[in-house]
Amino acid sequence: MKRKYFFWIMALCMALLVSVLPIYSDLPYPTLGEVFSKQQQVFELRDVQGTLVGFRLPQYLKETNVAGYHFHFITSDRKAGGHLLDGEFLDNVAEIDAVQDWEVTLPKHSSFAKAKLE
């Protein structure tokens, strides 16, 4: 599949497993791998209503972002949410958009200009 899709889903969730990562404001930033392996927090939400937003990207974009499906959830009261790892859903209403254009904006910060990227 070569197309990109964006999703917006209103859902009643029986159980969700979500993860969150800390926010870093001081340089040097840890690598994403370091953060996932050491500082990711995983927790469960039960019987909540909220919104899932996400995308499905084809494999040819795996070097620029996560290939496959990627979703985030936030409760209707905006008090809990995170990156979706697993879930059970009821009464979903979904909107799906096939995307033709995708713009990537690179940082203008000097540290990005000096970064050794492969």
Q: Domain holding 65: CATH number?
A: 3.30.1330.80
Determine which helix (DSSP H) or strand (DSSP E) holds 110, and give its type and residue range.
Answer: helix 110-114
Q: Could you tell me the pLDDT band of residue 39, with boundaries at 50, 70 and 90?
A: confident
Q: Could you tell me the pLDDT band of residue 18, with boundaries at 50, 70 and 90?
A: very high
pLDDT at 7: 93
What average pLDDT does the structure give for the chain?
89
Average pLDDT over residues 54-73: 89
Q: Which residues contact 82 (CB under 8 A, 6 or more apart)?
A: 18, 19, 20, 43, 72, 73
Question: What dihedral do alpha carbons 91, 87, 36, 81 form, nearest 10°?
Answer: 40
Q: How far apart are CA 106 and CA 93, in angstroms?
A: 34
pLDDT at 101: 85
Overall number of domains in the chain: 1
Average pLDDT over residues 15-44: 86
Q: Inform me whether the pLDDT recorded for 29 exceeds 70.
A: yes
The residue range of the domain holding 75 is 4-114
Q: Inform me whether the pLDDT recorded for 74 exceeds 80.
A: yes
Q: What is the pTM of this model?
A: 0.79
